[in-house]
C-alpha cells in the first residue's frame, strides 16, 4: 500500500462531525436491540440507551444508559460494563465501520430525577 494512502486512512482527526453523529446513532440503535436480545438483565429491570458520544478517532464511545428501577443502577451498570466487549463484538457484526469503538457505560441521572418528581407529584395529589 502506498504510504500516502496509508497515512490518509489512519488520519481520523479530520472525520466530519456528521459521520460521527451517524455512528453514534447506529451504535445507539444496535445497543438497544442487542441489550434486549442478548443480555440477561435482572427481572423487572429496564435499560434504555439514551445517548452515545464517540471520540473523533473512534477509539471510545461513552454510552449513557437509563436504568429503571433506580435501586438497581449500580448492579446493572456493572453488568453492562462487564458485557461491553461482547456488545462491541455484536455491533461490529451489524454495522460496517473501519473500527468499532470501545464501549464504556455511564449512568443517565435524568431518569432518577424524573422518577423522584413523579413520586413528589403523586404525594401532592394524595395529600389533597
Residue 28 is part of a domain; what is its CATH number?
3.30.300.20
Domain that holds residue 115: 3-127
Global pTM reads: 0.74
Backbone angles phi, psi at 114, to 5 degrees: -65, -45
- Give residue 127's pLDDT: 77
Total of domains in the chain:
1
Environment class of 77 (CB within 10 Å of its CB; exposed 0-12, middle 13-18, buried 19+): middle
- Report the DSSP beta bridge partners of residue 60: 102
pLDDT per residue of the chain (128 residues) written in tens, 0 to 9: 555 444 444 444 556 688 899 999 999 999 999 999 999 999 989 999 999 999 998 899 999 999 988 888 899 999 999 999 999 999 999 988 788 899 999 998 876 666 677 778 888 878 76
Amino acid at each position: 500500500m502506498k504510504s500516502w494512502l496509508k497515512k490518509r486512512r489512519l488520519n481520523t482527526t479530520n472525520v466530519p462531525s456528521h459521520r460521527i453523529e451517524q455512528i453514534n446513532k447506529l451504535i445507539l440503535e444496535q445497543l438497544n436491540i442487542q441489550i434486549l436480545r442478548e443480555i440477561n438483565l435482572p427481572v423487572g429491570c429496564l435499560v434504555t440507551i439514551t445517548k452515545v458520544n464517540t471520540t473523533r478517532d473512534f477509539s471510545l464511545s461513552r454510552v449513557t444508559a437509563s436504568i429503571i428501577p433506580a435501586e438497581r443502577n449500580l448492579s446493572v451498570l456493572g453488568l453492562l460494563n462487564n458485557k461491553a466487549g461482547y456488545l462491541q463484538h455484536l455491533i461490529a457484526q451489524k454495522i460496517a465501520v473501519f473500527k468499532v469503538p470501545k464501549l464504556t457505560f455511564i449512568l443517565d441521572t435524568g431518569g432518577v430525577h424524573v422518577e423522584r418528581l413523579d413520586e413528589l407529584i403523586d404525594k401532592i395529589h394524595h395529600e389533597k
